[in-house]
Structure 1
Amino acid sequence: MGYDKAKIYSLSTCSHCKAAKRFLGECKVKYEFVDVDSLTGEERKAIIADIKELNPRCSFPTIVIGDAVIVGFHEDKIKEALGIKDGD
């Protein structure tokens, strides 16, 4: 496996974000997540600025695995970034 850690910028109400978290868990990948809609004030502004550097449209989920930035829930792209081949 290429990377065993990921970071997800998500919204607590987003079904695609929940699916991405579930999928990473099924792949036994440790991940950090930030539910942006749970933040307030300066903390929220700072995280949104970070996300816009990675994903100018600031859409969710935004997943960071190593140098890869995946916007949306795409199992194939997540597997590729993690170095997982079908059958692993």
Structure 2
Amino acid sequence: MYTLSTCPSCEKAKKFFTERHIPFQFTNYDLADKDTQDKIMRELEAEELQAFPFVRIGDHTVQGYDPKRYAKLLDTNS
């Protein structure tokens, strides 16, 4: 999961996974070093995404806070 430290939707996404005891990793884009920011930007551009959070579940990518989509993808990936 790629997030911004000041993004309310990003906090909601992290809370979604935390409350369900689903392990996840995240990187705050705005607090990352330049190399990490460049890597994240390449991934966002490759997926044609423009908003945070950027959540990858299995082979799927979700842009923004979308708990219904998260739940559906988690159900199909379990």
Q: Is the 8 A contact 1:48 1:58 kept in 2?
A: no
| 2:17 is the alignment partner of 1:24 | yes
Which structure 2 residue ranges, 5 or more long, are not aligned? none
CA RMSD of aligned residues (A): 1.4
Structure with higher helix content: 2
Structure 1 vs Structure 2: percent identity of aligned residues?
Answer: 26
| Paired positions, count | 76
Structure number with bigger Rg: 1
Which structure 1 residue ranges, 5 or more long, are not aligned? 1-7
The residue aligned with 1:80 is 72
Match of 1:15 among 4, 8, 21: 8
Q: Stretches of 4+ moved more than 3 A in 1?
A: none
How do residues 34-73 of structure 1 correspond to structure 2 at under 5 angstroms? 34-54=27-47, 56-73=48-65
Structure with higher strand content: 1
